Amino acid sequence: MSRAGKRLSMATMNGAARPATQATGILDSVLGDITGGRAASRPNPEVVARAKRRRFTAEYKQKILAQTDAAKGSGDIGALLRREGLYCSHLTKWRREREDGILEGLTPQKRGPKVKADPLAGENQKLRRDNERLADQLRKAEIVIDVQKKVALLLGRPFPAEDQL
């Protein structure tokens, strides 16, 4: 093939000379066949389910901490984290919990607001408050009665004794 023939069979794409068949093959794969033959691959439109929050057991946390403590070489901890799918923040939190001596802290905690302990405890607390309020009212009423007795004595009107009531 002559130089001129070679030049005609070459196509330029992004400044690089390629054979014409290779260039058209690339364009076909990018654009797809307009006549409906071979279509370009499209991403799957299906939405994947939302990931759930991971929960780690205390045994797993202790095992990972032991492995990180035993890691000697450079990059061993990073390899462990990649293999297990963990982040360095996990290790930081778990180490802090271990140093605080909270073995229960290594167990997974339920997220969200704390549940009230017991409905009977709430009712008991309400009854105690009512009892204190009523005791305070009784104390005030007894003070008022004592003042009324003293005023009655000063005015010369004897207040009836408790036995006569």
Q: 8-17, 73-82, 133-142: which range is least confident on average?
A: 8-17
The fraction of the chain above a pLDDT of 90, given in percent, is 25
Please give the backbone phi and psi of residue 44, each rounded to the nearest 5 degrees, phi first: -70, 120
- Global model pTM greater than 0.95: no
pLDDT (tens digit per residue) in 113-132: 877 678 788 889 999 999 99
**80, 67 Cβ separation under 8 angstroms:** yes
What confidence category does residue 146 fall into, taking pLDDT thresholds of 50, 70 and 90? very high
Distances (CA, A) of 4 to 9, 13, 56: 9, 19, 70
Structure tokens at 139: 């104390």
CA distance 139 to 145: 10
Location of structure tokens 């009655």: 152
pLDDT at 10: 47
**94, 64 Cβ separation under 8 angstroms:** yes
**94, 65 Cβ separation under 8 angstroms:** yes
Structure tokens at 45: 């439109």
2/70: higher pLDDT: 70
